[in-house]
Amino acid sequence: MRFPLMVFCLVISGRLLNAQQKNLQTRNELETYQELNFSIKDSIPLEEKSVTGKKIDSLGSSFSKKKRFIPYFKSMNEVTVKDYKLMFLDGSEKTVDTSLSLEREYSFNFLRKDYFEILTFPNMGEAFNKLGYNFHDQVLTPQMGARVKHFSYFEKEDVPYYEVPSAYTELFFKSTFQQGQFLDTSLAINTSPKFNVAVSFRGFRSLGKYLASLSRSRQFRISTQYQTFNERYRLRLHQTTQSLENEVNGGLNRDSVYFFENAPNYVLADENGQAILDENGNQQIVFYDGFLDRNRLDTQINADNLLEGKRYFMEHKYQMIPVSKDSAAYKMSIGYSLSYEKKKYKYEHSFANLYFYGKYDNNIIDSTSFDNIENKLFLQINNKSLGELDLNLYHIKWDYDLGQDDYEKDTLLSNSINAHQLAAQLKWQKDIFGTSFRIMAYQSMKKKYATRSIKVETEKNISDKTNIIATYNYRSQPLNFNFYLLQSDFKKYNWENSDLSNQDFSTLSFALNHKKIGSLQGEWNSIKNFTFFNNTTPEFDLNRKFSTEVFQLSNRLDYFKVRMDQRFDFGKFTLANNIQFQKVNQEGNPQGTIDDPIALNVPKWLLRSTFMLTSSIFNKALFFQSGLTFVYFTDYFADQYNPLLAEFVTQNSTTIGNYPRFDFFFNAKIQSSRVFIKLENISAPIKHLINIDAPYNYYSSPFVPYRDFSVRFGLIWNFFD
């Protein structure tokens, strides 16, 4: 792996130097006033190239053998950024985005996604707690588990296939928290207009500010797409190699929670822990700022968890029956895809303490491997009368293994789950009298680990600026395999639950979108047999030990949420608001105890508001956006992170939230490069300047603090060669 990586890095370095020397050889077609109107149609026409004195034109018949650019379907002087396309397995397509916008600010992070409904841990790439849930858009088949490790894992649906008229490079960089950097680079090239290859690598390391919180990952992706000139046959291939590793600490211990929250003023206490009083009867306070260095705070454990994965994917598609003799569109296509993926999750804990209770060995090495083979046959029909119809047949094979049997364990559990499934899927969509109808149905053939799903969606454009979408989704699906079976060197983390029922989800949702006013979205979820990991730690052991069990509700659970997004533009100023209300109703009026837990916890209100200035300086050579983002959510019983399982666990004893957070940002664009500067959690030092006795009460999870004030820097650079 090292040699290909070195070659890849050398290629990237050479391209960067070459592009810098040529100053990208690009120019921005849009005027600054267009950017002030928040146009994201950022066209970057490439400079006209010539070979031996001739312009390169894809319609011409004479080209030099030494030409640098492969002929495209238009001359290179007509090519814009819209011609650089990324395509995905679900049929969606997007173009390279070189714009500077508020949406780009929200997604300039580790996941490169909007963080509105998730809460980051103190170190980059460590974990992400949930502030809201999306139950209607989940994988239909059971997975291996260790879901926290999969937040940044590239699934097969996440790998893009490029179609570019010339070589294209994207460089994404962001600073981390001590001794590390984050770099995500993609290089796409073509040897002909219809044969494109893309190589991507994400390398990341961040030491973190707390003990045992090092995060690092290496994620390599290569994809290729080939089409015949008439687009009748298409081949897609990709391969991924991923490694995501974290040191895990279990959060702050009891003493460190006190030192964290009350820094730098502490109450003096005697040997019995009683406060020492002065002559006036007041508690004596001592000033000590040492614990503002978070590395001095003790944590529960010092262990490592690691997720490794490799995947090989291939898809063939052949189109038949042209719509007309001279048409490039076809009425029917058939295809076949194969996906083989192998994952391994490992937890290592040397000289383990009793945080997870009793153990079989002092040196813990728990491992889980998961092999998944998916074969898919598909038929696609596009008929004016019938609409668009997709028929898919699946054969899926799972091998879930928990390592070698250990004769010292006093359990008689199974060691693996080996199963396979046959399934059929139907997708249909058609426009009828100006209304779009979409239906998706999925049915497994075998009873064990079977999934049933149906989704009906309708969309109507009420006017040129307004549309409405209504959706009903029903899904009955099996659980992830770590709910059914788990083995560990910790005695309390061994279980076999073969009698668990499928979870049933019924979802009604709507969305009302207006181009100027904003959008309103709502959904109601009714869930039967809701299954989760429950914190069963007794009260006297809280934040000393951690016990977890699988729990399946016998009563119905209802989850409701409604979200409103608004944006107001006043000249160069913008105010953008996101407001979300959530409510959970659980039958039986649970008491919130170990035996009668509240299964799903979310904040009642989730708010985000951004005030931003957009302008340009230096004779419009530098376009910038700068502003302040406010984030707030009400307190709630947030899930607690279990690093042994790499899962979040429901608990009903400790709340977090109810603290306002402000982030300041300054983002700038020069040609095709964008620079991002951010002051995260700037409200923390301001709060303590105003009131030095104010507690540090911001958390990402019980006993896991949120990030302190920090300054972050990053950039995105697009090269068109």
Q: With helix as H, strand as E and coil as C, how does 417-441 read?
A: EEEEEEEEEEEEEEEECCEEEEEEE
Q: Where do the structural domains in the chain lie, given as residue ranges?
A: 85-253+298-720
Question: What is the pTM (predicted TM-score) of this model?
Answer: 0.87
Q: Which residue has the tokens 């889980």?
A: 368
What tokens appear for 202 in the block? 């994400």
Confidence tier at 75 by pLDDT (50, 70, 90):
confident
Helix (H, G, I), strand (E, B) or coil at 257: helix
Return the structure tokens found at 442: 């999925």
Q: Which long-range contacts (CB under 8 A, 24 or more apart) does 395-399 make?
A: 395/420, 395/421, 395/422, 396/141, 396/372, 396/420, 396/421, 396/422, 396/423, 397/371, 397/372, 397/373, 397/421, 398/142, 398/370, 398/371, 398/372, 398/449, 398/481, 399/369, 399/370, 399/371, 399/372
Per-residue pLDDT tens digits for 300-340: 999 999 999 999 999 999 998 887 766 667 889 999 999 99
Contact 103, 97 (CB under 8 A): no
The total of other beta-carbon atoms located within 10 Å of residue 568's CB is: 12
Q: How far apart are CA 578 and CA 266, in angstroms?
A: 38
Q: Are 308 and 362 in contact (CB under 8 A)?
A: no
Rounded mean pLDDT, 356-381: 96
Q: Strands 661-670, 622-633: parallel, antiparallel or unpaired by DSSP? A: antiparallel
| pLDDT over 70 percentage in the chain | 88
The C-alpha atoms of residue 160 and residue 235 are separated, in whole angstroms, by: 14
% of the chain residues with pLDDT over 90: 74
Residue positions counted in the chain: 721
Tens of pLDDT, residue by residue over 21-38, are: 444 333 333 333 333 343
- Closest-CA residue to 428 (of 468, 451, 457, 469): 457
d(CA 393, CA 414): 31
Cis omega (within 30 of 0) for bond into 264: yes
CA 116 to chain centre: 12
**Span 486-491, mean pLDDT?**
95
* pLDDT in the model for residue 473: 97
The rounded distance, in Å, linking the Cα atoms of 561 and 584 is 9
CA-to-CA dists, residue 91 to 80, 88, 161, 356, 380, angstroms = 22, 6, 11, 45, 12
Strands (E), 433-496: 435-444, 452-461, 466-477, 485-486, 495-496
Could you tell me if 425 and 441 are in contact, meaning their C-beta atoms sit under 8 angstroms apart?
A: yes
**DSSP of 78-128:** G--GGG-EEE-TTS-EEE------HHHHHT-SSSSS--TTEEE-SSTTS-E
Class of domain 85-253+298-720: mainly beta
pLDDT tens digits, 521-540: 999 999 999 999 999 999 99
* Model confidence band, residue 156 (pLDDT cutoffs 50, 70, 90): very high
Residue 574's CB is within 10 A of a number of other CB atoms, namely 18
Residue reference for tokens 């592009």:
19
Give the per-residue pLDDT at 284: 84
Q: What pLDDT digit, counting tens, does each position of 538-594 carry? A: 999 999 999 999 999 999 999 999 999 999 999 999 999 999 999 999 998 898 899
- DSSP conformational letter for 282: P
394-436: per-residue pLDDT in tens?
999 999 999 765 545 656 788 999 999 999 999 999 999 999 9
* CA contacts within 13 A on the Cβ side of 57: 7
Torsions phi, psi of 13, nearest 5? Answer: -60, -45
Q: Which residues of 284-316 are buried (b: 16+ CB within 10 A; e: fewer)?
A: eeeeeeebeebeebebbbbbbbbbbbebebebe
Q: Average pLDDT, whole number, for the chain?
A: 88
Nearest residue to 144 (alpha-carbon basis) of 482, 381, 434: 482
User: What's the rounded Cα separation, in Å, for the pair 522 and 100?
Assistant: 29
